[in-house]
Amino acid sequence: MKLITAVVRPERVQQVKEALFQAGISGITLSRVSGHGGEQSIVEHYRGTRVMVEFHDKVEFRMAVSEPFVQAAIDAICKGARTGEVGDGKIFVQPMERVIRIRTGEEDTAALTPVTETKLTPDHL
Ligand SMILES: Nc1ncnc2c1ncn2[C@@H]1O[C@H](COP(=O)(O)OP(=O)(O)OP(=O)(O)O)[C@@H](O)[C@H]1O
Ligand SMILES: [Mg+2]
């Protein structure tokens, strides 16, 4: 299992979501973040301290996936997020030790498998 974190442009969020859903990945957390990449920073002095001023609005996707979905997730994120211009973002892949589905107590890969036996209504999501 891996935890995949991807930082992308806000305007590409819809395309990334669609590509992930097409790849069969539906357990996703999204956050608005602000970030700075590898570019040269413009620095300003504030009360004697040097501070970076160019932070950009980005969106961070986080998803825990089982091994067979790792490359598919990476491909989907790249497909949805790439414009070819600087600032397209980055994907980080980390080992994931444990996952627990709170409702059932299922663990690890079982906890990552989509729930099919329950009738899903918006209240369940
Ligand atoms: N090493 C890093 N650690 C944590 N977050 C990062 C790192 N590199 C990039 N990010 C995040 O990703 C966002 C987008 O990064 P960005 O695409 O500019 O990376 P880059 O390395 O500068 O590549 P590019 O040359 O394509 O711009 C940043 O604003 C930041 O939120
Ligand atoms: Mg950059």
Q: What is the CATH number of the domain that holds 51?
A: 3.30.70.120
Say how far apart CA 113 and CA 64 lie, in whole Å: 11
Q: How many CB atoms lie within 10 A of CB 6?
A: 25
pLDDT attached to residue 116: 67
Domain enclosing residue 19, as ranges: 2-97
**pLDDT confidence bin for 41, thresholds 50/70/90:** confident
Please say if the pLDDT value at position 32 is more than 90: yes
Averaged pLDDT of the chain: 91
CB distance 32 to ligand 1 below 6 Å = no
CB distance 9 to ligand 1 below 6 Å = no
**22 belongs to a structural domain:** yes
Please say if the pLDDT value at position 108 is more than 80: yes
**110 belongs to a structural domain:** no
CA 15 from chain center: how many Å? 13
**125 belongs to a structural domain:** no
CA 119 from chain center: how many Å? 27
Say how far apart CA 34 and CA 62 lie, in whole Å: 15
**39 belongs to a structural domain:** yes
Structural domain total, the chain: 1
**80 belongs to a structural domain:** yes
**17 belongs to a structural domain:** yes
Which of 30, 23, 25, 39 is closest to 7 using CA atoms?
30
pLDDT attached to residue 120: 60
